[in-house]
Amino acid sequence: MKLPRTIILSRPDALGDAVVTLPMAGLIKKHSPQTRIIALVKQYTRPVWQHCAHVDAIITLEELATGDPVARLRELNADALVHVFPHRDVATWGKQAGIPQRIGTSHRWWHWLTCTERVSFSRRKSDLHEAQLNIKLLAPFGIDVPRTDVLSTLSGLRRPAVPASVTRLLRTDRRRVILHPLLGSGVGWGLHNHAAVIRSLDPQQWQVIVTGTAAEAERYGSHLPLDLPHVIDAGGKLSLTELLALIGGCNALVAASTGPLHIAAALGIRAIGLYSMRRPIHPGRWSPLGPDAHALVHDKECSACAAGKPCDCITRIEPRRVLALLEELR
């Protein structure tokens, strides 16, 4: 097959969404190594794309919005624009810029006015992983959807150089695990469970680093035993680039379905994800993809999750299951 010379992948979305889109770039390069890939993303997620081996250039939504977006897109000389995450303004700018091939889902009305090709599929009702659903948008290029084990090898995420600000946090004489206890939306595993893991890990063998935003650090600070000698609280103290370096310098990460979990999986460290079975947030859709990725649920047959009702079964995943996966790391 012959792919376009330059493709823009537009995913101005959240961190986890960005990470599970990286295999899309990898699959394009696998089929057409000479194709140039430009990522159109949010400024916040830029460091992830900068450390992806498959991405040749980056432009942010913020850059476009503060200048002449049509002229800027035209300057890129792109042959195709793929709307991985539908964004009405980007779709309009792409058409006005005259990008020849513009691909999007048929489920956004503005794509009928702005796209040259529309792919019909439903994310909400699908049994496919989010990374596989992204690949459906490559159908106009003749690319089929591969298995998740294939996609898990294609992220191309590279570990950044570890700056001094991160090096000073790490104890190389200990096994190092990151706990990322909160998530932006939905029900998490529960701070009591994270606290149980912290207290169960031998301080002579383990270092625990807790991460999150500054606002999240205020929330978890009084619920976790942060004063224990083997615990470091890095909440609100790291840039995304520093967080990437920190994750790459650790042995494992424990979290619900968050950006850091997906980063850990893509970087190849042990990623232990905690999930409910409720659609569309179940592990079939959002499990971490990587060579040492694990997705734990309390009950695969949870009736509340099956009915789509609010459910806290994720909080009933026993800490011993997480500890067992951690203790395998020797």
Q: Who's near 3: CB < 8 A, 6+ residues apart?
A: 28, 31, 32, 35, 141
C-beta of residue 60 within 8 angstroms of C-beta of residue 28: no
Low-confidence ranges of the chain (pLDDT < 70): 185-186
Q: How far from 212 is each of 181, 233, 238, CA to CA, in Å?
A: 7, 9, 9
- Measured between alpha carbons, how far is 51 from 238 in angstroms, rounded to an integer? 17
User: What element of type H or E holds 254?
Assistant: strand 252-256
3-state SS, residue 314? helix
Q: What is the pLDDT of residue 114?
A: 97
Query: Could you identify the residue written with the tokens 């091939």?
Result: 101
Q: What is the pLDDT of residue 2?
A: 84
List helix spans (H) across the chain. Answer: 15-19, 22-31, 46-50, 61-65, 69-75, 88-96, 111-114, 130-136, 148-151, 164-167, 191-200, 214-220, 240-248, 259-267, 283-286, 303-306, 319-327
**Global confidence as pTM:** 0.96
Q: What is the pLDDT of residue 123?
A: 81
Q: What is the pLDDT of residue 130?
A: 96
Q: What confidence tens digit (pLDDT) does each residue in 104-160 have?
A: 999 999 999 999 999 998 887 788 999 999 999 999 999 999 999 999 999 999 999
- Peptide bond between residue 280 and the one before it cis (omega within 30 degrees of 0): yes
Domains of the chain (ranges; CATH) run 6-151 (3.40.50.2000), 164-327 (3.40.50.2000)
Q: What is the pLDDT of residue 315?
A: 96
